[in-house]
């Protein structure tokens, strides 16, 4: 276990400098968690199958000039070493890596690594400071044998039941949202365990599963059932408890409008030229608007039909009413850039040449952290150097 710093990291030091992560994960949730640790300064050694590597190396198109964009999205700032865990010699090297590591992240089927002599209990006897994070679909109890795919968890966990048009088909989110949420939960747990280890000298066994992460993120929708016995359903882009908080049709397309309080609604009606709506008893308060949603929305859309979405966005934003047209991902990144958020970084190969762009780690630090911009590794790119280090 590396010495723990006695003072906060300076602008020249990343907060996880000196932390070694053994990454036995693949696909999305695990790799995103370990990439976050790498962005914060940890050394991440990614263990991959010889020949094929992480499943997502072949998940395409689309492909960039250097590989599958799916793989590249969650694997920068790592070293790739190919080890065949069925081979005793390679398995021994994997064990050596785990015994040197501060953190181990894996998403094998529950108990899978333990059968290879790489389970927490066995490793912790020799490496008591190890933080061992296991990621699964449905936990290690009755759901241990169930395959953990984001899409299936969105279905079984309830997210799809509230996503889509009212009376229409259920939909998944447009990104593997449950995997992303699970990655963030795993990262939070790992950072908390490292903090606890600084005080106790002992590591921890963490278990994170996709179903629990999804349900932890259902927030008000889950509490509607638990607290009031209400089973939420699909409402398209409408909100169950706030009106208007949805897409509204303009002359040339939809506009997202989010009135979180009565003052914003009053300003909306002023801009639209229908101030009498804010004084109407049916619409004067949010609770009333929720009850009379079906009457209000057509009146708002009638007023919005006088101009295009961008015109209304500019007018409403200027009046302090949250509003925005439906942008593409490319437009969204351009918008973030225009706001000075610097959403994109250039990643570089080992020679320092730019090989592409990626979305940066979303946390900004003061004082700023030195950026890590190592491109995602080629399969087995660091096998020789890592093996030499482990044998040294």
Question: By the 8 A CB rule, do 300 and 272 touch?
Answer: yes
Q: Is the pLDDT of residue 332 over 50?
A: yes
Q: Where are the domains of the chain?
A: 20-218+351-391, 245-334
Least confident of 4-8, 47-51, 308-312, 385-389: 4-8
Check if the beta carbon of residue 175 is closer than 8 Å to that of residue 163: no
For residue 4, pLDDT beyond 90: no
- Where in the chain does DSSP place strands (E)? 20-24, 43-48, 78-82, 103-106, 131-136, 204-209, 245-249, 254-258, 323-325, 344-348, 354-359
- List, for residues 70-114, the tens digit of each pLDDT value: 999 999 999 999 999 999 999 999 999 999 999 999 999 999 999
Question: What local confidence, expressed as pLDDT, does residue 291 receive?
Answer: 98
This prediction has a pTM of 0.93
**Residues whose CB falls within 8 Å of the CB of residue 242, separated by 6 or more in sequence, listed in order:** 258, 259, 260, 286, 290
Between CA 101 and CA 92 the distance in angstroms is 14
**pLDDT above 70 coverage of the chain, percent:** 97
Please state, for a pLDDT cut of 90, what percent of the chain lies above it.
94
**pLDDT at residue number 8:** 45
Identify whether 367 is preceded by a cis peptide bond (ω within 30 of 0).
Answer: yes
DSSP 351-387: TS-EEEEEEPPS---SSPPPP--BPPPPTTTTHHHHH
Q: Say which of 23, 39, 150, 179 is annotated catalytic.
A: 179
Question: What's the pLDDT score for residue 2?
Answer: 42
- Determine the Cα angle at 70 with ends 336 and 79, to 5°: 100
Q: 273-311 pLDDT, tens per residue?
A: 999 999 999 999 999 999 999 999 999 999 999 999 999
Banded pLDDT at 367 (limits 50, 70, 90): very high
Residue 90 annotated to the active site: no
pLDDT at 11: 52
- CATH architecture designation of domain 20-218+351-391: 3-Layer(aba) Sandwich (3.40)
Cα-Cα-Cα-Cα dihedral of 293, 299, 303, 304, to 10°? Answer: 30
Q: Is 3.30.1540.10 the CATH number for 245-334?
A: yes
C-alpha Rg value of the chain to the nearest Å: 25
């Amino acid at each position: 276990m590396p010495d723990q710093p006695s003072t906060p990291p300076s602008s020249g030091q990343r907060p996880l400098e000196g932390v070694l992560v053994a990454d036995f994960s693949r696909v999305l949730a695990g790799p995103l968690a370990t990439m976050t640790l790498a962005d914060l300064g940890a050394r991440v050694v990614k263990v991959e199958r010889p020949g094929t590597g992480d499943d997502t190396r072949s998940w395409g198109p689309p492909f960039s000039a250097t590989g599958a964009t799916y793989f590249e999205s969650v694997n920068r700032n790592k070293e790739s070493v190919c080890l065949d865990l069925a081979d005793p010699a390679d398995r021994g090297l994997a064990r050596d890596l785990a015994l040197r590591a501060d953190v181990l992240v894996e998403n094998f089927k529950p108990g899978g690594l333990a059968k290879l002599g790489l389970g927490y209990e066995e490793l912790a006897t020799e490496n008591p400071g190890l933080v061992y994070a296991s990621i699964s679909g449905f936990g290690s109890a009755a759901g241990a044998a169930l395959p953990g795919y984001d899409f299936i968890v969105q279905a079984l966990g309830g997210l799809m039941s509230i996503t889509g048009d009212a009376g229409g088909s259920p939909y998944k989110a447009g990104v593997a949202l449950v995997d992303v949420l699970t990655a963030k939960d795993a990262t939070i747990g790992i950072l908390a365990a490292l903090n606890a280890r600084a005080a106790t000298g002992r590591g921890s066994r963490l278990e994170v599963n996709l179903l629990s992460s999804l349900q932890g993120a259902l927030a008000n929708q889950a509490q509607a059932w638990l607290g009031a016995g209400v089973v939420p359903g699909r409402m398209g882009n409408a909100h169950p408890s706030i009106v208007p908080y949805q897409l509204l049709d303009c002359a040339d397309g939809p506009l997202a409008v989010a009135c979180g309080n009565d003052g914003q609604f009053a300003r909306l009606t002023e801009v639209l030229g229908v101030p009498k709506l804010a004084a109407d008893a049916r619409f004067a308060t949010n609770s009333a608007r929720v009850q009379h949603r079906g009457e209000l929305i057509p009146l708002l859309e009638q007023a919005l039909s006088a101009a295009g979405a961008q015109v209304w966005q500019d007018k409403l934003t200027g009046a302090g009413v949250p509003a925005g047209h439906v942008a593409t991902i490319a437009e969204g990144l351009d918008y973030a850039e225009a706001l000075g958020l610097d959403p994109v970084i250039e990643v570089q190969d080992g020679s320092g040449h730019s090989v592409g762009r990626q979305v940066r780690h979303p946390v900004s630090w003061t004082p700023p952290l030195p950026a890590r911009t190592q491109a995602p590794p080629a399969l087995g790119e660091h096998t020789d150097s890592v093996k030499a280090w482990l044998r040294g």
